[in-house]
A and B are shown apart, each in its own frame.
Chain A
């Protein structure tokens, strides 16, 4: 055994702590200041600011989960994930706005939907060729064809269909672009991920020339919600409740899947030691496909709710980039590879972006800081990584060889 060396006393770098302290001081000071200077900034105002931040944060969390899951399993930063999110948003849009479709289109759209359902039934049955899986896929196929060709599709159904389609897209991307490179150096896969991302961006650029796509499904979720609290009235929409709620349900479902089901446990085992997981009989290919399926489904849910939240979608070439990179920052802040870390990171980014701009609004003597909101995510990323290089609840990466 090697002679143990005496560890050098660690020099603490206080600068990042000072920065975080300073930010907190400014925020608290600002809140107190606002409270004294005008009646507008009452408890109702801050309630709204906090819930709005929570809403935005939960969307980032949904996207960040996809980054962190894929990284945990195959150590790939899936740069195409932002574009998967974009596809999810647009798939939802076309499902609720363009239906009923002519039947050939309905059949084409129903194929990935049925396949996605089969992949999910496969969690339980363990084999794609299992009679129950095949029967389930067939039934869903015919129902989907009928729904898409005969009726208009409401938002919730569009969301579910879009999640399935996008999930299958995730599996497809992995199969086409990443799985042939499994044994190659890690950078090859990273470059491929960037290529897939650019491909999807440009595909969107060519197929959809509109700069903004209005995203206004006919749903009660968009209705306004007005309630009184403390000394003021909060005017907002039901989205402020619904988006965090749907996100919470999805996160709980994912957590249950990962901790309670056999395939979920195999997923965690693969993330920890893929070779030994294989020695226990785990089909690593199936685990990877499942990871892409679930991550992409969450991204699609995030995309659909993103459209709902902002009422319109950007041009596909740019829609995925910023939310994607911010969600990636969220995953890193939380500790990439960790599921709770992604959720915490997402909420932190949401608050940094929304709450800070809310408490520094435009006033006659101050231009506001709305223009800088996109930079906060990355300032936070730098500061938090200075304090905790492996993220808030990330594992210590230095011990891994």
Chain B
């Protein structure tokens, strides 16, 4: 199909962007972006400042509307769906800068993650899963979100996303503003989550860390995909090294 890289891949696609173009008012942000995520995959999106990384994520979630092109999620046309409908079909987001609700408790923040669900029993199970993953959160159930450290807030934001029992988690710069040690820990947890079969789409500036655990990567430049391929190939790509990986 349109994505030349995966044209011979017969697997069912979880998410597909087909020549997606988006605008902020009259300004074009994304231009003919093709992108595929397969079930269980971890895909990272790299790129410099203002390359359209965050916009891609917001387009997938529906905060920014698609002006041209199509988007499919789990085999269904998705670019006409509302944000809530996309979440119900299995998307979840860890927004940039965590953006947890500062005046709600840890438990209430997690409850907001399962806002659209009605299956009380399964919600309880997922809550326990989140507590297994982040024991720190279980200790601080009634603490206000805003009083936690940056790392704890990142855990909470991830826990909140997991509470919707998603098929695909969208992460916007999970490493931003965290201590290097913590970045590694967070990515380790992302890997763990991914190993449970949840697909992860991560927008990241920290290309080295992201590529070291991702399956595949896309590189965005001024709203266009300029490079894509398996993570290992991108790590060894000469142009990549010069531009993003900080090697000369």
List chain A positions with a Cβ less than 8 A from chain B: 262, 265-266, 268-269, 272-273, 275-283
Contacts and interface: CB of A to CB of B under 8 A. Distances in A.
Contacts of A277: 101, 112
A282 B102 CA distance: 17
A281 B87 contact: yes
A280 B63 contact: no
Given A265-B108, A280-B160, A275 B63 contact: yes
A268 B63 contact: no
B115 A262 contact: yes
A184 B118 CA distance: 36
17 contacts: A265-B104, A268-B104, A269-B101, A275-B95, A275-B99, A276-B99, A276-B101, A279-B63, A279-B83, A280-B112, A280-B113, A280-B116, A280-B160, A280-B164, A281-B84, A281-B87, A281-B164
B111 interface: yes
Given A262-B115, A269-B104, A272-B103, 10 more contacts: A265-B112, A275-B63, A275-B99, A278-B63, A279-B95, A280-B113, A280-B164, A281-B83, A282-B84, A282-B112
Nearest to B109: A269
B88 A265 contact: no
Contact of A278 (B83, B100, B102, B104): B83
B87 A280 contact: yes
A79 B108 CA distance: 32
Contacts of B99: 273, 275-276
Given A265-B108, A275-B63, A276-B101, A281 B95 contact: no
A265 B87 CA distance: 18
Contact of A269 (B87, B112, B116): B112
A114 to B, nearest CB: 26
B210 interface: no
Contacts of B35: none
A273 B113 CA distance: 14
Contacts, number: 55
B225 interface: no
Contacts of A272: 101-104
Contacts of A262: 115
Closest 8 CB pairs of A and B: A281-B87, A281-B116, A281-B84, A276-B99, A272-B101, A280-B112, A280-B115, A279-B93
A259 B95 CA distance: 24
Nearest to A395: B103
A279 B63 CA distance: 8
Nearest to A263: B115
Interface in B80-120: 83-84, 87-88, 93, 95, 99-104, 108, 111-113, 115-116
A276 B145 CA distance: 14
B61 interface: yes
A162 to B, nearest CB: 33
Nearest to A270: B101
Nearest to A268: B104
Contacts of B160: 280
Nearest to A338: B103
A122 B133 CA distance: 36
Nearest to A126: B118
A265 B111 CA distance: 9
A268 B87 contact: no
A283 B82 CA distance: 10
B165 to A, nearest CB: 13
Task: Give the most central of B83, B88, B101: most A CB within 10 Å.
Answer: B101
A277 B88 CA distance: 14
A228 to B, nearest CB: 47
Contacts of B93: 279
Contacts of A268: 101, 103-104, 108
Nearest to A272: B101
Contacts of A283: 84
A282 B99 CA distance: 15
B160 to A, nearest CB: 7
B43 to A, nearest CB: 20
A279 B84 CA distance: 8
Interface in B101-143: 101-104, 108, 111-113, 115-116
A155 B18 CA distance: 63
